[in-house]
Amino acid sequence: MGLSVDSKIKDIKKNPEAVKIMERYSEGFSTNPQMKMVQGLTFRKLASFPQSKAAGITDEVIAKIDEELKALGD
C-alpha cells in the first residue's frame, strides 16, 4: 500500500523520499524529538492539532502533501 496523509508517521519516516517531501512542508519532521511521541498517529490527525495549523499546515498544504506522497507509489 502506498503512502498518503492517512499513513502513520512511523511509516512515512521509513521512506527517505517521503521524508524529503515532509521536510519541504514541515521543517524538522525527521529531526524534531517530539515527533517520537506521535509515531502512531496519521499525518492527517497530526495536522489537525492547533500547533500544526499555527505552523502553516493548512488544508491546501495537506492536499499537496497527500498528492506528493501518493505519487511515490508503493
- Summarised one tens digit per residue, pLDDT across range 16-60 is 999 999 999 988 888 989 888 999 999 999 999 998 888 889 999
The pLDDT, as a whole number, for residue 41 is 95
Q: Could you tell me the three cell numbers for 6?
A: 492517512
Per-residue confidence band for 15, with pLDDT thresholds at 50, 70 and 90 = very high
Q: Could you tell me the three cell numbers for 69?
A: 506522497
The pLDDT, as a whole number, for residue 55 is 85
Q: Rounded to the nearest 5°, which phi and psi values hold at 29? A: -50, -45
Closest CA to 18 of 58, 60, 72: 72
Closest CA to 44 of 19, 61, 24: 61
